[in-house]
Amino acid sequence: MLGSRAARATLVAFAFVVALLLAAPGGHPATAGQPAAAAQAEPFRLYLGGIARDGAHLSVSISNYSPYQGGALLVSAGDSTSGTASLFGRQYPLTPDGAGGLAGFVGVGTEDPPGPTSLMISVVRSDGAPETVVRTLTVLKTDWTVDYIDLPPGVGDLLDPAIIKAEQDRLNAIYAGVSARAWSGAWRDPLPGPVTAAMVSGYFGEQRSFNGGPVGGHHGGTDFGVPAGTPVYSTNSGVAVLAEGLDVRGNMVIVDHGGGVFSGYAHMQALAVAPGEAVVAGQVIGYAGTTGLSTGPHLHWEMSVAGVLVDGLRWLDGTQGF
Ligand SMILES: [Zn+2]
C-alpha cells in the first residue's frame, strides 16, 4: 500500500516513534530477536501435587530453568496458602491454583543479566508454617533485533511528552495490580492463527538507532501486520480492565488474567468489550486497525508479568514449559 520509497521511509519513521513510545519503561524487558527460535532442551517438570518432595515439606515446580531475557516461567508450589517468587529483587505473586497449592508467572527483564541467578520461592504452607526454597536459573541471552532508522526532522516532535508520560503512567498502574487467578490452560494466539513469523512486523524487545545514534530502548510488545478489521482474541481468560481510545496506543484493551499477568492490545479499529467485562480465552475483544500513533493497520500485543513486559510469542510456542 505504500509504494514509494519516500512513503515507506515516512512509515518507518512513524513506526519508530510508535515503537519508541511503546517501549518498556525503565529498562523493562522487551523484546526479542528470535522469539520462535527459543526452543530449548531444558527439561521442565510438570507439577503433580504431592510428588517430587522438595526440602523438608514443600513441593515446587518450575516450568523453565533457563529462560531467555524477555522470557517467563511458571512456578507452582503445593499445599500452600500464600506466597511469592523473587527474581532479581522483584516480587511475583503466587496465587491459589484451586487445588490447594499456588501458581504464578515470573518474568525475566530485557536488561536482566545472562547467566546463573537465584529464584527464591517463599510460601506459607497450609499448616501455617513459612518455608522458603531457592533454585538456580540460568538466564539465556537474547539477541535483540535492531532497526537503524533515519528519521526526518520534526517527526519526533509529534506528541507532547506529558501526554506520553501520562498514558505510560496509567498503564504502569494497571500492570501493578494483582487480582485472583483467572487464567487457565494454554495461552492462545491473539489473532486468527496460528500466528507466523511472516505476520510479525516488529519483534518484542527490538531496539532502535535513530539517525546513527546509539542503539537503545526495547519494543514493549509484538507487532503483527494484519488487515484492518481482523478479529483480535483475548489470549486467555480474565477481565477487561481497560477498553477505550488512548492518545498514543489508540483503541486499546487490557485484560487482567489475575496473579499480576496482563495482556494489552493496541491500535485497534474498534472495541468489542466494555471495561469491567469478563472475557474468556479466544473471545473477540476488538478488531485490528491503525488508531493512535500508527500509520498502518497492525496489532501491537504485549504481555506484562508483575509490571515486567515479556515476549508474548514465547507464551505461544510451548518452549517455556507452559
Ligand atoms: Zn508495537
Question: Which helix (DSSP H) or strand (DSSP E) does residue 15 occupy?
Answer: helix 5-21
Do 13 and 50 fall within a single domain? Answer: no
Confirm whether 135 is domain-assigned: yes
Sign for the pseudo-dihedral over CA of 137, 138, 140, 141? positive
pLDDT tens per residue, range 215-251: 989 999 999 999 999 999 999 999 999 999 999 999 9
Inside any domain, residue 264: yes
Is 193 in the same domain as 269? Answer: yes
Say whether pLDDT at 18 is over 90.
no
Whether residue 322 is contained in a domain is answered as: no
Same domain, 150 and 269: yes
Q: Quick one: 243 and 107 in the same domain? A: no
- How far apart are the CA of 110 and the centre of ligand 1, in A? 16
pLDDT of residue 193: 82
Any idea what the CATH number is for the domain that residue 107 is in? 2.60.40.1930
Distance CA 11, CA 123 (A): 50
Domain range for 17: 5-28+144-315
Domain end: 118, 139, 160, which one? 139
Ligand 1 centre from 309 Cα, in Å? Answer: 12
| Higher pLDDT among residues 17 and 133, named by residue | 133
Per-residue pLDDT reduced to its tens digit, 20-64: 445 544 333 333 444 433 334 334 444 333 333 444 578 999 999
pLDDT for residue 5: 43
Indicate whether 133 and 153 sit together in one domain. no
**Do 304 and 221 have their domain in common?**
yes
Average pLDDT over residues 102-128: 97
CA of 313 to the centre of ligand 1 (A): 13
312 C-alpha to ligand 1 centroid (Å): 12
Tell me which of 108, 139, 170 is where a domain ends: 139
Q: Quote the ligand 1 centre to 222 CA distance (angstroms).
A: 6
User: Measured between alpha carbons, how far is 105 from 52 in angstroms, rounded to an integer?
Assistant: 20
Position 320 in a domain = no
| Residue 98 buriedness (CB in 10 A; 0-12 / 13-18 / 19+) | exposed
Are 54 and 9 found together in one domain?
A: no
Cα-Cα end-to-end distance for the chain: 38
Q: Distance from the CA of 120 to the center of ligand 1, in angstroms?
A: 32
CATH code for the domain in which residue 252 is found:
2.70.70.10
Kindly state whether residue 33 falls inside one of the protein's structural domains. Answer: no
Residues above pLDDT 70, as percent of the chain? 80
Q: Within this chain, do residues 279 and 160 fall inside the same structural domain, yes or no?
A: yes
135 and 149 co-located in one domain:
no
The mean per-residue pLDDT over the stretch 113-139 comes to 97
Say if 270 falls within a structural domain: yes
Structural domain ending residue among the three candidates 115, 139, 163: 139
* Residues 278 and 241: beta-carbon distance below 8 Å: no
Average pLDDT of the chain is 85
Cα(216) to ligand 1 centroid in Å equals 15
Cβ(170)–Cβ(163) below 8 Å: no
Please give the distance, rounded to the nearest whole angstrom, from the Cα atom of residue 265 to the centre of ligand 1.
10
Q: Examine the domain organization and report whether 197 and 233 are in the same domain.
A: yes
Grade residue 294 by pLDDT with cuts at 50, 70 and 90.
confident
Say how many Å lie between the CA of residue 19 and the centre of ligand 1: 5
3-state SS of the chain: helix, strand, coil percent to 5? 15, 35, 50
CA nearest neighbour of 110 among 23, 174, 169: 23
Is 66 a domain residue?
A: yes
| Cα of 8 from ligand 1 centre, angstroms | 17
For residue 93, the CA-to-ligand 1 centroid distance in Å is 27
How far is the centre of ligand 1, averaged over its atoms, from the C-alpha of 17 (Å)?
Answer: 10
What pLDDT score was predicted for residue 35?
40
Provide the residues around ligand 1 (an ion) whose CB is within 5 A.
22, 221, 223, 300
Q: What is the count of structural domains for the chain?
A: 2
Higher pLDDT, 96 or 147: 96
Distance 45 CA to ligand 1 centre (A): 33
Give me ligand 1 centre to Cα 194, in Å: 19
C-alpha cell at 88: 532479581
Burial of 139 (0-12, 13-18, 19+ CB in 10 A): buried
Distance 182 CA to ligand 1 centre (A): 26
Q: Are residues 244 and 300 in the same domain?
A: yes
Q: How far is the CA of 145 from the centre of ligand 1 (A)?
A: 14
Please report which confidence band the pLDDT of residue 65 belongs to, taking 50, 70 and 90 as the band edges. very high
Do the domain assignments include residue 103? yes
**267 CA distance to ligand 1 centroid (A)?**
9
SS (H, E, C) 243-306: EEEECCCEEEEEEEEECCEEEEEEEECEECCCCCCEECCCCEEEECECCCCCCCCEEEEEEEEC
Please report the pLDDT score of residue 1 as a whole number: 33
The pLDDT of residue 211 is: 82
Shared domain check, 173 and 60: no
